[in-house]
Structure 1
Amino acid sequence: MSHRIGEQRSAGFWPLALVFTLFVVFLYGPMITIFVLSFQGPEGGLTFPLRGVSLHWFRKLAEGLGTVDIGAAFGRSLMLGAVVMAFTVVLSVLAGLAFRKRLKGGNALFFVTVASLIMPSIIVSLGIGLQFRLLDTGLKGALGAIGAEGLLENYGTALGLLTSALGAHLTWTLPFGLLIMFAVFNRFNPAYEEAARDLGATPWQSFLHVVLPLIGPSVVGIGMFGFTLSWDEIARTSQAIGDVNTLPLELQALTSTVTTPSIYALGTVTTVVSFAVMAIALGSAALLGRRSTRRR
């Protein structure tokens, strides 16, 4: 049986299979290497061969890496990722609903939104940082003009995790969310909503009990994109974060100062968080997909 299956394969199968295998190794090889090296023993280094197997470097990571507060950076990244995920989901769904009807200037609005995807990330970050520094200058000038010396002394900067950094990340996550929602509603069957209205449902009831369950898997996917894209973003954060750092920025800085497998342990932890979010999202999407199928 296997011999007959092999005979059915075209002449180009094995070359393409080889190319695909090399691509997978190139894509996941570095990640697997970091995973393996992070579980070295106390005498382990940054390169092979592997010297023992233990959780030593994860314990060192928990103790801290010099003056860097990994726990605080981890918490900041989690919070920022969660907020970005929420904004991306809500704004993408609302925009998808709005664009189901012809909007005056809708095409221009769409192209302006997705234009940030083709802009260099560092330029976007610099622009947002400059905007907020100009805002700082304006606010300080206004406070000085009205004589609010106390407020002026306590005022630091508008740059921050949930201001400029949030805006920078949304320029990256929102276009993906919008494109997904446009594709979803492009193939959405309005007959389900019409049936709900015929049965007396209000527009809100129709959305909550009909539309949302049907688009639920896609909404979960948008949330996953929003969190994971924010979780490991560096370029758009670097000039717009203010005086604190997210975990990716701390990790980037540590690559030039930390010379032990602790840096690999940190990379493993951040990757595990990403995979955990993806697993939760895929599981939720599959569950919502089965529920919507049963309803139909």
Structure 2
Amino acid sequence: MDGERRGPGFWILAVFFTIFVLFLYGPLSTIFILSFQGPEGGLTFPMNGVSFRWFVNLFETQAVGDFGGAFSRSLVLGLMVMGATVVVSLLAGLAFRRPFFGSTPLFYTAIASLIVPSILVSLGIGLLFQVIGIRSAWYSSGFGAHLTWALPFGLLIMFAVFNRFNPSYEEAARDLGATPWQTFSHVVLPLILPSLIGVGLFGFTLSYDEFARTLMTSGSFNTLPLEIYGMTTNVTTPVLYALGTVTTGFSLLIIVLALGGIYLSQRSRRRAG
């Protein structure tokens, strides 16, 4: 089998995949390289020296932009959405394990926001807060808008997890005298923990880089995507690229931490088994 020659279909797909990877990561590579421009460097090639000048500039007082404030707001908002998505998705997944009246309409209502244009969701939530007399802010209306985007993904993941979940584990625990809470905490939760970490990762990343659903709901203070968008119209130095490199690195760090958490949970489960 190892000596068989690859057919033409394999090479066509290999070329297509290579082009796709270049198209996907080429712009990121360009931003990463240009963020190390020298002090006299500009926004385009060729590079004028190499330095960390623009990364240092991120932590200095800016004439335009509030990097620290925007980042902290996006971080807090992402953590809020992550926590709410994990809790609601878990409870919904448990509830939908057994059929109940109205479960089908409720399911489609919960995921309907995925097919509604994001800008309309943002506009609608912003108008709703205005009508009820509450001032729009990133931590209130922005939180609600982000939740309409992240929560359906969490629900779909947990529904798929519980559809494949073997109830015999719970039956065995109950036969051994475990209470419902003990069955959940010692049997169900360890088995679904990797999936819950994945739900949390979805919730955080979808909120952290969301632009359209934040546009009409953030109030007076920008989140990081809005701040970056605003900078594209008035910042003429590579500090914008440095910011992009830092935020991309932070996103990759979150993914690595999530994968590490999944690996540790699976390893502890194997040891327990």
Instruction: Tell me the TM-score normalized by structure 2.
Output: 0.97
Q: Supply the distance in 2 between the matched residues of 1:181 and 1:32 (Cα, whole angstroms).
A: 35
Shift of 1:64: 3.5
Q: What amino acid does structure 2 have at the position aligned with 1:188?
A: F
Shift of 1:6: 6.6
Q: Are positions 1:207 and 2:204 aligned together?
A: no
Q: What amino acid does structure 2 have at the position aligned with 1:56?
A: R
Aligned residue number for residue 80 of structure 1: 77
Aligned residue number for residue 263 of structure 2: 286
Shift of 1:203: 0.8
Between structure 1 and structure 2, the one with the greater Rg is 1
Aligned residue number for residue 277 of structure 1: 254
Aligned residue number for residue 228 of structure 1: 205
Task: Tell me if the contact between 2:64 and 2:231 (Cα under 8 Å) persists in the aligned partners.
Answer: no
Aligned residue number for residue 102 of structure 1: 99
Give the unaligned 5+ runs of structure 1: 137-156
Task: Tell me if the contact between 2:64 and 2:235 (Cα under 8 Å) persists in the aligned partners.
Answer: no
Classify the secondary structure of the residue corresponding to 1:216: helix
Aligned residue number for residue 150 of structure 1: none
Shift of 1:49: 1.6
Task: Tell me if the contact between 1:81 and 1:226 (Cα under 8 Å) persists in the aligned partners.
Answer: yes
Aligned residue number for residue 122 of structure 1: 119
Q: Supply the distance in 2 between the matched residues of 1:206 and 1:181 (Cα, whole angstroms).
A: 18
Once the two structures are superposed, what CA deviation does each residue of 1:128-184 show, in whole Å capped at 9, x if it has no partner?
001000011xxxxxxxxxxxxxxxxxxxx4311221110000000000000100111
Q: How many residues align?
A: 273
Instruction: Tell me the TM-score normalized by structure 1.
Output: 0.89
Shift of 1:205: 1.0
Classify the secondary structure of the residue corresponding to 1:289: helix
Shift of 1:11: 1.9
1:1-296 matches, cutoff 5 A: 5=2, 7-136=4-133, 157-296=134-273
Classify the secondary structure of the residue corresponding to 1:9: coil
Q: What amino acid does structure 2 have at the position aligned with 1:132?
A: F
Q: Supply the distance in 2 between the matched residues of 1:232 and 1:98 (Cα, whole angstroms).
A: 30
Q: What amino acid does structure 1 have at the position aligned with 2:199?
A: I
The percent identity for this pair of structures is 62
- Coordinate RMSD, CA, aligned: 1.3
Shift of 1:292: 2.0
Classify the secondary structure of the residue corresponding to 1:12: helix
